[in-house]
Amino acid sequence: MWSSNVSTDGELSISGITAANLAKEFATPAFIMDEADFRARAISWDQALKSGFGENAGTVYYAGKAFICTEVARWIKDIGIGIDVCTGGELAVALAGGVDPSKIEVHGNNKSLAEIDRAVSVGVGTIVIDSLYEIERVAASATKHGRVQRVLLRLTPGIEAHTHESIATAHEDVKFGFSIVSGAAWKAIEAVRAHASIELRGFHAHIGSQILDTDSFEISAERLIALLAKYRDAFGVELPELGLGGGYGIHYLPGDEELVPSVVMQALATAVDTNCALHSLSVPKIAIEPGRAIVGPTMFTLYEVGTVKDVTLENGDNRRYISIDGGMSENIRPALYAAEYTAVLANRTSNAALISSRLVGKHCETGDILIRDIALASDIAPGDLLATPATGAYGRSMASNYNHLPRPPVIAVKNGKARVIVRRESEADLLGLDI
């Protein structure tokens, strides 16, 4: 929930810096990021992959869509893991951060010709192919640049992952990849093999996000490995790589579970070993793409309370609305996925009685609700600070300028020092787009 260097004992602080001091120096709303925690999480996924799969451990690709900026790309480079990008913009940031192109994997169900061409020309390690068109497009670009581009095929193993329907990605009725059961995957395999400028390295599946059990990952591995065996039987060679995607869930609320890297990787390694043995296949190099599980818990959002309003409901009950200075523009997840968060009073402690409250943003929408029902101190007043943990993944990265709100900055904290790594947008930034 909170990152490792946050203390909620008394006034909230991170690495010794109080919430009040952060607000004074950087203003609110702001994403506060625990750099040491980010690095530790990235490293622990890398180590878990290595200890689970040993010599068959491939690459951990950090899923940049969860949150990426140039400084974070530099950390990724420093740590030595790879990065998964799914647009030209994400690719540009990874390159700006100095990530070795061979450690970049490119995703996307509708990569533009320009995106493909840039990826091929800079020499990205892997392109994950999502459609028959793309096979031709990547092959043409690779021919043009005189390269052989390594590719994986994105497959849908037909799994109903236990998560919100908007973030499940591997059942049949989705826009992503090639279905194994329908035979689309086999057609794609044959199409790839017809091109000398692309080299099929293996298969890939990403079954969804915020998944909290290991079963779906194991079933996915089982189905992909069965296809690897079918490939070997048909063509007499084994494909050397298998991408198992990301999706490992984190805890948002007290009492929530999260997937522990060593536990998931051990379970996956067992599933992979068993299924490879079943088909007498050598174990391919296994790659994973955690996004949320690396960055999610590393940030909290710091808000200032602007108004407190009591509303009498039809049944006579009171509802307290506490408005903060952000909302659905920097955290769309509650509105989009009914995602639940918690919040704490951050600038002081309070012994006042708790009162059932609704935390809302400042947007012109009734649905601009950050937390539907939360017990907060009844003396919370304008000027107080509230902090929402676990907003690192799909928070700043999905932020919008709705109502012309400038997007908040990201402040990285490490060893008692706080610095801006993404600055706050200004009205000038917003007006700068208008002709």
Among 242-250, 265-273, 310-318, 421-429, which window interacts with ligand LLP (CB under 6 A)? 242-250
Q: How far is the CB of 66 from ligand LLP (least distance, A)?
A: 5
- Residue whose CB is less far from ligand LLP, 211 or 377: 211
Q: How far is the CB of 339 from ligand LLP (least distance, A)?
A: 7
Cβ–Cβ under 8 Å, residues 105 and 91:
no
Identify residues 61-90 at the interface with ligand LLP (CB under 6 A). 63, 65-66, 84
Based on the shown chain and the rule CB under 6 A, indicate whether residue 206 belongs to the binding site for ligand LLP: yes
For residues 135 to 174, the per-residue mask of contacts with ligand LLP, x marking binding by CB under 6 A and - elsewhere, is --------------------------------x-------
Q: How far is the CB of 101 from ligand LLP (least distance, A)?
A: 18
How far from each other are the two terminal CA atoms of the chain, in whole angstroms? 43
Q: In this chain, which of 29, 52, 82, 245 binds ligand LLP, going by CB under 6 A?
A: 245
Based on the shown chain and the rule CB under 6 A, indicate whether residue 393 belongs to the binding site for ligand LLP: yes
Q: How far is the CB of 103 from ligand LLP (least distance, A)?
A: 15
Catalytic residue among 69, 86, 276, 364: 364
Q: In this chain, which of 58, 97, 202, 247 binds ligand LLP, going by CB under 6 A?
A: 247
Q: How far is the CB of 294 from ligand LLP (least distance, A)?
A: 8
Based on the shown chain and the rule CB under 6 A, indicate whether residue 361 belongs to the binding site for ligand LLP: no
For residues 332 to 351, the per-residue mask of contacts with ligand LLP, x marking binding by CB under 6 A and - elsewhere, is -x---x--------------
- Residue whose CB is less far from ligand LLP, 26 or 61: 61
Among 116-124, 225-233, 240-248, 251-259, which window interacts with ligand LLP (CB under 6 A)? 240-248
- Residue whose CB is less far from ligand LLP, 12 or 293: 293
Q: In this chain, which of 5, 28, 59, 210 binds ligand LLP, going by CB under 6 A?
A: 210
Q: How far is the CB of 107 from ligand LLP (least distance, A)?
A: 5
Determine whether 276 is an active site residue.
no
Based on the shown chain and the rule CB under 6 A, indicate whether residue 111 belongs to the binding site for ligand LLP: no
Q: How far is the CB of 295 from ligand LLP (least distance, A)?
A: 8
Based on the shown chain and the rule CB under 6 A, indicate whether residue 106 belongs to the binding site for ligand LLP: no
Q: What is the 3-state secondary structure (H, E, C) of the chain?
A: CCCCCEECCCCCEECCEEHHHHHHHHCCCEEEEEHHHHHHHHHHHHHHHHHHHHHHEEEEEEECCCCCCHHHHHHHHHHCCEEEECCHHHHHHHHHCCCCHHHEEECCCCCCHHHHHHHHHHCCCEEEECCHHHHHHHHHHHHHCCCCEEEEEEEECCCCCCCCHHHECCCCCCCCCEECCCCHHHHHHHHHHCCCCEEEEEEECCCECCECCCHHHHHHHHHHHHHHHHHHHHHCCCCCEEECCCCECCCCCCCCCCCCHHHHHHHHHHHHHHHHHHCCCCCCEEEECCCHHHHHHHEEEEEEEEEEEEEECCCCCEEEEEEECCCCCCCCHHHHHCCCCCCEECCCCCCCCEEEEEEECCCCCCCCEEEEEEEEECCCCCCCEEEEECCCCCCHHHCCCHHHCCCCCEEEEECCEEEEEECCCCHHHHHCCCC
Residues serving a catalytic function are 364
- Binding region for ligand LLP (CB under 6 A): 63, 65-66, 84, 107, 167, 206, 209-210, 245-248, 289-293, 333, 337, 393-394
